[in-house]
Structure 1
Amino acid sequence: MSTLTLGFLMDPLETVRVDHDSTFALMLEAQRRGHQVRYFEQPWLRFGGSRAEARMRTVTVRREPGRAFDVLDERVSPLSDLDALFMRKDPPVDADFIQATHLVELHNGRTPVFINNPVGIRDANEKLFGLRFPDLMPETLITRNMVDLSRFVTEHAAGTILKPVEGFGGQGIIFLQPGDRNMRSLLEVLTVGGRKAIVAQAYLPESRQGDKRIILVDGEPCGAVLRVPAQDDHRGNMAAGGKPVKTELTAREREICARIKPALLERGLYLVGLDVIGDWMTEVNVTSPTGIVEIDQLDQVNVEGKVIDLAERLVGARR
């Protein structure tokens, strides 16, 4: 494969945790293969008269906290200069995020290969997309109606998980049991007084053993990590203090992956993080799924290599 120019739309490189960040692992692998690595942030993206362009930095990267990258060049360039663009901006999926997914599609000729496709990202809300497969999901209610939410909590003796539709990294996730005197107040806060819909899901006791993140590349599972919550927390997210533990895929998990693969590939969602608790899928993460570094370390594999393989293959097929 000849040298490619690979772009990364992401959060500020200065803030990246080089020992954990999946995007940084992808950049390192691309650099190791001799590809040119460029990155830009969401505010640097614009439409320049006839095409999408951005202020881009060409960088070299290294896994050294505090001095993780050097800037070789910085200039405004059209997105058509890129062979592939990795859409890796962290949530929240707010108005600015959605606008960025529209801007990157504007061109007057060649477009980069997208990983993931901006149309697919818009289509696949991470909390809602799995509901297209209700038999794979725990019992779920999405509403802003506090009477209905109260009834759902009351009907689930083991407990209910409440979370914002646009949440990420475990932020704003609440465990609530019937009879809790905070229930009405919490529902008022979470729904902003009944003006914002939230997700209510039946609590899965298996979550105490861990929340499994499965990385799918081109629709196929390439590894998994079990994220075990701390004793004093109900969240397994590593951003919320969950501990990564080595794991294997079960037959049920492989069945779930196979079921959702066509829907992902149809939308150009090539790099996906699937969350599973027990026998149930809980989220389908398509914006900037993490877990690659932890899977590499626990299983002695190179998941990012499979992703760059895919990018090279897609660019080669287009050429």
Structure 2
Amino acid sequence: MTLKIGIVMDPIDGINYKKDSSLAMLWAAQQKGWELWYMEPQHLFLRDGKARANMAPLSVDMNPDSFFTRGEYQIADLSSLDVILMRKDPPFNNEFVYTTLLLEMAEKKGTMIVNRPQSLRDFNEKLFATHFPQCCPPLLVTSDSALLRAFHAEHQDVIFKPLDGMGGASIFRITADGVNLGVIIETLTEHGTQTIMAQKYIPEIIDGDKRILMLDGEPVPYALARIPMAGETRGNLAVGGRGEGRPLTDRDRWICEQVGPTLREQGLLFVGLDVIGDYLTEINVTSPTCIRELDNQFDLDIGMQLMNIIEEKRNNA
């Protein structure tokens, strides 16, 4: 079965060849003989009730010096594609929302969108984890300074973070001495006008912030533990963390069992769970990464696993 598969992503010219998960997906789709079509969010538009795009044919290669060839752009209906991978990185702003709304119009015409546009809008990556309180550490979501101060007083060692960040940006640890507590609260909440999350600090972060990839609600059997640099509290690879693959623990699998059915119900085919110690801290639904690291360490082909799931779902549609 030959499929026409589009991708909406940040500029392909700027991706990291060694680490990019979208590239792994494109390699797998091309290996299956599918047509690839490339778009960036600004290429999508609406004309006379039809969601369309200025899209370009794409081919990819495993040559780091020349890993893609993009053809001439041409205007076509989004619904002319069988599948569209939505792989635009946050920030999750109005433009991101508008892109999902246009993709949803194509979805209603029969195009499969991965991940489902409504679910991308409905499930904030920080708040989604709180749907599973049995899996989470003690936490608080608020813009209220008094509540945040009380949470710190109760737990002594806490993490404060924005609800719309990625890659470890603007994450603060406040220990028992409370140094800079006031200014951190003021900065993150923009003087009480922005809602943030507070979590009890999980000391097991020194052993790594584990990324577990979920394919249609089922986990890849290995996690990538992102281990912080010395002096850091963040394990994100984007801020210098080191990635070390590990088999899933019994607790990891239990967390996956709690979350997996909801992911399937909501059309979230490719998701990254973040787990520190025994606790689920985030559920990443927009553009999860770590395919390449796990593929390389364990001789996997996660991109192909995802394409096989997509193909099966298209066949059964």
- TM class by smaller structure: over 0.9
Letter in 2 for 1:262: P
Equivalence for 2:55: 56
Partner residue of 2:200 out of 176, 180, 202: 202
SS where residue 246 of structure 1 aligns? strand
Amino acid at match of 1:282: T
Shift in alpha-carbon separation, 1:109–1:237, aligned structure 2, 3 A: closer
Superposed CA offset, 1:268-293 (max 9, x none): 00100001011100000000000100
Q: CA offsets per residue over residues 27-55 of structure 1, 9 Å max, x none?
A: 01111121111110111111121211111
Aligned position for 1:217 = 215
- Structure 2 segments unaligned to the other structure (5+ residues): none
**Is the 2:107–2:113 Cα contact (8 Å) retained in structure 1?**
no
Provide the C-alpha distance between the structure 1 equivalents of 2:130 and 2:146, rounded to a whole number of angstroms: 22
CA distance in 1, matches of 2:243, 2:253: 20
d(CA) in 2 for partners of 1:16 and 1:63? Answer: 14
Report SS of the residue matched to 2:259: helix
Corresponding position of 1:131: 130
Aligned counterpart, 1:118: 117
Deviations 1:47-84 (A, max 9, x none): 12121111111111123445321113321111111111
**Is 1:166 equivalent to 2:202 in the alignment?**
no
1:111-153 CA distance string (max 9 Å, x none): 3111110011111110001111111101110111111111111
Correspondence for 2:32: 33
Cα RMSD of the aligned pairs, angstroms, is 1.3
Taking structure 1 as the reference length, the TM-score comes to: 0.96
TM-score (norm 2): 0.97
Q: Which runs of 5+ in 1 are unaligned?
A: none
Q: Conserved in 2, the CA contact under 8 Å of 1:47 and 1:106?
A: no
Q: Secondary structure at the match of 1:154?
A: helix
Quick check: 1:163–1:173 contact (8 Å CA) kept in 2?
Answer: yes
Over 3 Å counting, the alpha-carbon distance change for 1:202 and 1:109 in structure 2 is closer
Identity, % of aligned pairs? 38
**Helix, strand or coil at the partner of 1:19:** coil
Distance between the aligned counterparts of 2:107 and 2:17, measured in 1?
A: 36
Q: Which runs of 4+ in 1 moved over 4 A?
A: none
Residue matched to 2:289: 290
Structure 2 counterparts to residues 83-102 of structure 1, below 5 A: 83-102=82-101
Residue number in structure 2 paired with 1:154: 153
* SS of the residue 2:253 aligns to: helix
Q: Name the aligned partner's letter for residue 70 of structure 2.
A: V
